Amino acid sequence: MTTNTMKKNGKKLLAVMMMAGVLGMTSLPLGAPKAEAYLVSSQQERVFGGWMTEKYEKKHGTYASDYVTDIMDNIVAHNRDKLNYEDGSHARYLFPVKVSRENQENAFTFAGGQIYITEKMINRFQEGDASYNPANLYAASSTANVLGHEAGHWANCDMLKTMDQFLTQNFIYQFIPIPSNAVFLANLGANAMTILSTRQLSFDSEAGADASGMEFIKNVPEYSVGSPIPMYRRWMSWGEATGFDNYMKPHSTDELRLDRVREAIRKDSDGHVLVSRDGELNYDTRDFLGTGYVPKNSYASAAARTTYLAGQIATSIERGRWAPENLALAKESTYLKGGRANKTVMYVKDSSGRPFKYLGNFDIPYEKATSGNTSKMTQSEKQEYETIQAIRKLTLGVHGPSLKAKLRKLEKQNKTNG
């Protein structure tokens, strides 16, 4: 965003908010109460958001997608304390998510609660023979993490904070008389304050949206906090973006965001689950299956399957559900929309016996996965069966002392022996 664009948007925001009564210069009956601690009310936020979305949709073209809508609905349904659509009882609400034809991998939230995700971003996550099938847990989880991040922006009121900032700065510098010989210095000071405050607000809001989005994802059985790791890894290979627009609206580096996810998985799992930057899974100091990876299948790559599993195990440990008696298998079609009868899902059960956290899709019929008769399995089915058995074995190591306690004990023994 250039300085002129910011100034133009600031003026437009100021004009719209004046029309909507935000500065008390009119008394339009807008009805909705102001959001707590902000100059702008929820209704006024939507007024400005409507102007932004109208311009964006006219330029790029957008549409509703059942696939994406179902994912967003799932996130909202499992986070009712933080997220909501229009229901008559909330002053602020999200609009149904839309897909944008803009030619880049991106997603964003406009004022008023409208979230967009681009086709290019969604397509990037589609792998194997289950494209756009909601039963493909890996692709759906990757998309969900992007949408969860954007929902985090809305829940954290980041656009309201930005609007407050623009309102305050534009009001001060457009309505307070400035002597003609001080105009240059005043403009320089205004632009410098805008740049510095906007950068800091962007850093803070992006980190906050990452954290909020991760909490939203933890609450949904189908989605894993580990799924963004391959995405960040790919973006790291592109190098960091440059230019004034990136300077004005910075995210944390992809490397830092990847490491935050890795650290969250380590912390949530009490040190049992470690994930490398390349996506390798290490459980209690041992590489999973000896390689660190879940083998690829018709649904997804090895990296996508591995990081998905890592995140789901970590959340299951954090929520106290990771135990041998809580693991179960089912036909995909039993629980997942679009699920196929000849495929299997593995999941961690909740207290009622239903899925608390899925652990992945497996290219093996349920009957074979539960029979244990490997003589009748194809090579790929054997591989999936062995992966399932390896996951079961992982639950056996969590019930004793934590990994951190084990390492402290070992360190103490080494000092004593030394």
What ranges do the domains of the chain cover?
A: 3-223, 271-398
User: Using CA atoms, how far apart are residues 293 and 281, in angstroms rounded to an integer?
Assistant: 6
Q: How would you classify the pairing of strands 273-275 and 281-283?
A: antiparallel
Each residue of 271-287: pLDDT tens digit? 999 999 999 999 999 99
Q: Report the candidate in 261, 217, 211, 230 with the shortest Cα–Cα distance to residue 71.
A: 217
Hey, how many other C-beta atoms are within 10 angstroms of the C-beta on 374? Answer: 11
* pLDDT for the residue 413: 58
Hey, how many other C-beta atoms are within 10 angstroms of the C-beta on 273? Answer: 30
When pLDDT is averaged across residues 202-208 and rounded to a whole number, the result is 78
One-letter amino acid identity for 41?
S
Hey, how many other C-beta atoms are within 10 angstroms of the C-beta on 220? Answer: 22
Write down the residue that tokens 């999941």 correspond to: 347
pLDDT at 361 over 70: yes
Alpha-carbon separation of residue 178 from 9, 169, 173, 188, 412 (angstroms): 22, 14, 8, 13, 69
* pLDDT for the residue 189: 43
CB < 8 Å & 24+ apart, contacts of 374-377:
none
* pLDDT for the residue 416: 58
For residue 363, report the phi and psi dihedrals to the nearest 5 degrees: -80, 65
Confidence class for position 194, pLDDT limits 50, 70, 90: very low
pLDDT at 85 over 50: yes
Write down the residue that tokens 């149904």 correspond to: 96
pLDDT at 76 over 90: yes
Question: Which DSSP symbol is given to 95?
Answer: P
Q: Which of 121-130, 345-354, 356-365, 386-395 has the lowest mean pLDDT?
A: 121-130
> Do residues 287 and 278 touch, judged by C-beta distance below 8 A?
no
Confidence class for position 26, pLDDT limits 50, 70, 90: very low
The two structure tokens encoding residue 237: 């290979």
Round the CA-based radius of gyration of the chain to a whole number and report it.
Answer: 25
For residue 251, report the phi and psi dihedrals to the nearest 5 degrees: -95, 165
* pLDDT for the residue 206: 87
The two structure tokens encoding residue 136: 């493909």
Q: Which of 21-25, 283-287, 298-302, 321-325 has the lowest mean pLDDT?
A: 21-25
User: Using CA atoms, how far apart are residues 4 and 411, in angstroms rounded to an integer?
Assistant: 59
When pLDDT is averaged across residues 60-80 and rounded to a whole number, the result is 97
* pLDDT for the residue 399: 43
Alpha-carbon separation of residue 414 from 286, 407, 410, 418 (angstroms): 21, 10, 6, 6
Confidence class for position 369, pLDDT limits 50, 70, 90: very high
Q: Which of 78-82, 155-159, 406-410 has the highest mean pLDDT?
A: 78-82
* pLDDT for the residue 32: 36
User: Using CA atoms, how far apart are residues 197 and 42, in angstroms rounded to an integer?
Assistant: 23
One-letter amino acid identity for 297?
N
